[in-house]
Structure formats: structure tokens, C-alpha cells
A and B are shown apart, each in its own frame.
Chain A
Amino acid sequence: GQQLNQSPQSMFIQEGEDVSMNCTSSSIFNTWLWYKQDPGEGPVLLIALYKAGELTSNGRLTAQFGITRKDSFLNISASIPSDVGIYFCAGRRSYNTDKLIFGTGTRLQVFP
């Protein structure tokens, strides 16, 4: 079935570094969402994007809806230890009835 590919699969960085990850699809998506999952918990919404080219920030996080509608990017600036977790992109292909498809996840590890 349809899958969103995220890269990198995992990242090991030092506290204070900036992080970039992306999510790509072979087909057009009309909504992109970014979630973070901590161990033992459910995914929590970070940022929602609804328009091609849209750039939205949430604190140290910034996400962009790719202009081709086939990709999205998430940046984290000045990482801190609590940024550790798995980051998922998710998308919907239509504005109406369509399921939310999740990406393969990027596992982030931050070392002090």
C-alpha cells in the first residue's frame, strides 16, 4: 500500500545541533502532519501543514509543505535531550474522505 518514506531512518546528534529530516511520496498529498512519539506513548502532533509551500513553526521546530506536494521537511534547531524520540510524517491525499498515512519514522537520539 501507499507509504511515505522518511529519511534519515535514524540520527545521533549532540545537544545544541540542528536537525533536518524529510518525508517523500510518489504521489501528491494535500495535507502533511508531523508527529513525535516518546517511548511508551502515542504520537503527539507537532505541526500541521495544509498548503503547498507553507512554512510553519512551533517553537524550535519548523516544517515545510513541499512545493511539489510530494514531500515535507522538519527542522529542529538547537536540539535538547528531550527531543529524543521517533518523528513521523503523515499525510492525506485528498481534502475529504481519505485515511491518514504515516511515514516510516526517523529515530532521533540526542547526546548531552
Chain B
Amino acid sequence: DTAVSQTPKYLVTQMGNDKSIKCEQNLGHDTMYWYKQDSKKFLKIMFSYNNKELIINETVPNRFSPKSPDKAHLNLHINSLELGDSAVYFCASSQDWSALSPLHFGNGTRLTVT
């Protein structure tokens, strides 16, 4: 199936640990994103990459480091996890960076930090 897929779907870990979330899209899109959805369901952009280049980096702690090995993949590594990092993280992609390209989302990774 053509889609944006992210793994794992659930991630439970302890404070202080380092974890990664992987994302892959097979839609042939140039642009990929990471969004964070908090407990009130508010969606906020974290990062965006266009053709493997970082183009948006919102005010996210530098414990969060995205990596795009190629334009079909955008992984998110998080160091020294904190309780406040608990949220659902969504990967998304769009054809390109223009406003005419809607975002297509993965099904999310629910991160719980204990």
C-alpha cells in the first residue's frame, strides 16, 4: 500500500533513555515532517525536511534530532527523554514544499515516558 508508515506504534520508556522513531513514505514525495500532538490533541510542527535538507526547525529542545538519510525517510531521535515528551508523534509527507501540496500523515507513534 502507498502510505506514510512509522514505527513503532507504541513506545514506553523511562526518563533519561534515548529512543528513535522511524518514518518512511513511498509516495515519492519530496518533503517530510514531524508533528507532535499533545494530550489536548493540539498538533504542532517540529521539523520539516525537503529533499533531505532541514527547512523548518521549530523551537524544539535540541534533545530532538531528526535525520533524513534519503528523501523517503525521516527519523526522529530523542535523547534524555523527559516526562513532558509523552505525546503522539506524527510523521507526514507532501509532494513538495508549496502551499498547494497537502500533507499526508502516518498513524502516529504514542510515546509514554515514565
Partner of B105, one of A44, A94, A104: A44
CB distance from B5 to the nearest CB of A (A): 10
Q: Are A42 and B105 in contact (CB under 8 A)?
A: yes
In the complex, which residues of chain A have a beta carbon less than 8 angstroms from the beta carbon of B106?
42
CB distance from B34 to the nearest CB of A (A): 12
In Å, the complex CA distance between A95 and B97 comes to 9
Q: Could you mark each residue 83-114 of chain B with 1 if its beta carbon is under 8 Å from any beta carbon of chain A, else 0?
A: 00000001010000111101111111000000
Bin the interface of chain A by size: 20 to 34
CB distance from A16 to the nearest CB of B (A): 26
Q: Are B97 and A41 in contact (CB under 8 A)?
A: no
How many A-B pairs fall under 8 Å by CB?
A: 58
Bin the interface of chain B by size: 20 to 34
In Å, the complex CA distance between A98 and B50 comes to 12
In Å, the complex CA distance between A95 and B99 comes to 5
In the complex, which residues of chain B have a beta carbon less than 8 angstroms from the beta carbon of A105?
41-42
In the complex, which residues of chain A have a beta carbon less than 8 angstroms from the beta carbon of B100?
31, 50, 95
Q: Are B107 and A41 in contact (CB under 8 A)?
A: yes
* Nearest A residue to B4, CB-CB: A42
In the complex, which residues of chain B have a beta carbon less than 8 angstroms from the beta carbon of A100?
45, 103
Q: Could you mark each residue 68-112 of chain A with 1 if its beta carbon is under 8 Å from any beta carbon of chain B, else 0?
A: 000000000000000000101010101111111110110100000
Q: Please list the 10 inter-chain residue pairs (A to B) with the smallest Cβ-Cβ separation, ordered nearest first.
A: A42-B105, A102-B43, A31-B99, A92-B99, A95-B99, A45-B102, A99-B45, A42-B107, A43-B105, A41-B107
Q: List 11 A-B contacts (CB under 8 A).
A: A1-B44, A35-B105, A40-B108, A42-B105, A42-B108, A95-B99, A96-B97, A96-B99, A99-B45, A99-B48, A99-B56
